[in-house]
Structure 1
Amino acid sequence: MAKPDITPEEAVKRLPAGAALGWGLVKPPQRGPKREMSIEQIVRKAVDIADKDGLSAVSMNRVASELGFSAMALYRYIPSKDDLLLLMQDAVCDIPLPDERPAHEWRESMREYVMATIGVFVDHPWYGDIPISSLPILPNTLQMVDWALRPLRDMPLDDFEKMSIVLLLSGYVRSSGMLKRDILRAVQAGSSEETFSGVPYSAALKALVKPDPYPNLYPIVMSGVYTGEKESENTVGDDIDFGLERILDGIEQYLERKKTGRRDSSQG
């Protein structure tokens, strides 16, 4: 059954409280501490706590306590912890955008977007711990989407194709950012970077991995590439760069097919 149409004004009123706060659609509380506290101040303090002690350390009580107020006072500004988390996510996405590049430098533009957004996961390790609850709906996260769309603006693509490419890049950002974040967390906890290359396990794997039952993995283990033994200078960053370049190659080939009129195999 089709949902009845609603006006834009009604749709805005139905936004989650955190989104409404992020857009500045909610008036400041008329009672409680005035001017001593603001939504921006609350969110900034929550981000500081999460950066220092992790997402589990963030509670309305702790944020309020560190600001010198009661949790009840905080709730007059932000109705729930879920709304606070939404605002925290949006706050750390407020990053400077680079200057727009010429259209032919679209690969460089996409690379800047990917690397900068991976940086959000690394600089704020808790960011990826917040479950995805909806598509981006707050100002700064939408600005990130707009940035990703920028190099696609003049390409011969329809809106669906453009958003699908943004989703592809964003998915790569999330997986790569969380991988890099997790490795950095482990190193900070005492693990060595060499452990993640697998080099300490190289000799053991060469003894254990046999052509049967690992016919495809066996030659790669024996070459030393699996554990990074052959190219010990490789880093996670290099792996991320390699994967990104292959994604960009795929986008470039798709654009070439569009120009020549060849049918995309995914369309049947």
Structure 2
Amino acid sequence: MTDAPDLELPRGIALAWGVAANPQRGPKREMSVERIVEAAVEIADAEGLGAVSMAAVAAKLGFTPMSLYRYVTAKDDLILLMQEEATGLPSEETLTAGDWQARLTALYREQVEQYVRHPWVLEVPITGSPATPNSAAWMDAGLAALADTPLSHEERLSVLLLVTGAARWTGIVLAGYQRAERDGGLSGVDITAREDAMFRALITADAYPHLRAAIDAGVFLDESDPFVFGLERGLDGVAAYMDVVAQGRTVERVPLMPLEDADIADDKKYREARKAVRDAEKALRDARKLERQAARDARERRARVRGDS
């Protein structure tokens, strides 16, 4: 830990960094924050994040819930420590995978593996930048991969966000399919075949011409990895940007998109205006649906007329 000696750390963050004060009293039998977190992770891995409670963890360890509160004073702190445990550290193989693109791709793959191994982590709300040791280690590894590039520190962080965002989205999708396989007793091949059949039955060339063309081309049965393809093309774009920077040219950075103004979010007239926009968008979608149906009907009538003549 460095700097800011007057900073009062939240209890969960202090526990993660190992600088929280130990409880003065505790159960006679051995108890520790580490044991509590390990037990909670085991419950989440087996039953999901919703199954984790102080009572459930205490029961698994053979203690009373009050015993746990001497070590972890709030469930939010416990979830933070569980996330830290599940995140782990990047492997040595990933840290030395090759050039910056190879290292970032390896970091991406390893993060996806962590999400698939502990899918409940994806349910933990994002409330800000990570401030725990393992999370910091992943960030440091990504920035280290870009250390010898001509990018600024801000640009390196932006590239890291591209990689971690891709990993999280891939993890969400793969964890969902994994859950579907487990709950439905189907293999991944079975699920994709069923999805392809469903799309072929529902998607028409009249209503969705480009999607239908993709379906006919077999995109939902293709075995290549669309997520890695997207990441690699994104990194190719970063490489092209590096060439621009190396030539001494400057590119204007886009300002951060502002979040909706919280000061007016509860204003009645503002809420009514937002609802009116949503209603109008829905009406437009419905009108376009009617238009497509009318076009199909017109084609059918014209075909019948031609047939009768």
* TM-score computed with the length of structure 2 as normaliser: 0.75
Please state whether the residue corresponding to 2:25 is helix, strand or coil: coil
Please state whether the residue corresponding to 2:207 is helix, strand or coil: coil
Contact 2:40 2:57 in 1 (8 A): yes
**Is 1:101 aligned to residue 96 of structure 2?**
yes
162-171 or 75-84, larger mean C-alpha shift: 162-171
Partner of 1:187: 181
**Is 1:220 aligned to residue 187 of structure 2?**
no
Identity %: 39
Which of 28, 31, 35 is the aligned partner of 2:22?
28
**Is 1:241 aligned to residue 228 of structure 2?**
yes
253-262 or 66-75, larger mean C-alpha shift: 253-262
How far apart in 1 are the matches of 2:68 and 2:53?
11
Partner of 1:257: 244
> Structure 1 residues 30 and 168, CA, compared in 2 at 3 Å: closer, same or farther?
same
Higher share of residues assigned helix:
2
Contact 1:28 1:77 in 2 (8 A): yes
> Structure 1 residues 119 and 261, CA, compared in 2 at 3 Å: closer, same or farther?
same
Please state whether the residue corresponding to 2:130 is helix, strand or coil: coil
The 5-angstrom pairing of residues 128-147 of structure 1 reads 128-147=122-141
The 5-angstrom pairing of residues 108-123 of structure 1 reads 108-123=102-117
Residues matched between the structures, number: 251
Measured after TM superposition, the shift of residue 35 of structure 1 is: 6.5
Measured after TM superposition, the shift of residue 196 of structure 1 is: 3.8
Which of 60, 65, 71 is the aligned partner of 2:59?
65
Contact 2:90 2:110 in 1 (8 A): no
Larger radius of gyration: 2
* Structure 2 unmatched ranges of 5 or more: 256-309
Please state whether the residue corresponding to 1:216 is helix, strand or coil: helix
* TM-score computed with the length of structure 1 as normaliser: 0.86
Please state whether the residue corresponding to 2:5 is helix, strand or coil: helix
Measured after TM superposition, the shift of residue 91 of structure 1 is: 0.9
How far apart in 2 are the matches of 1:209 and 1:79?
53
**Is 1:16 aligned to residue 10 of structure 2?**
yes
Contact 1:121 1:177 in 2 (8 A): yes
Measured after TM superposition, the shift of residue 174 of structure 1 is: 0.7
Measured after TM superposition, the shift of residue 39 of structure 1 is: 0.5
How far apart in 1 are the matches of 2:142 and 2:28?
39
Q: CA RMSD in A?
A: 2.2
Measured after TM superposition, the shift of residue 267 of structure 1 is: 5.3
Contact 1:97 1:147 in 2 (8 A): no
How far apart in 2 are the matches of 1:149 and 1:193?
35
Contact 2:23 2:71 in 1 (8 A): yes
Contact 2:90 2:137 in 1 (8 A): no
- Which runs of at least 4 in structure 1 moved beyond 4 Å after TM superposition? 201-208, 265-268
Partner of 2:72: 78
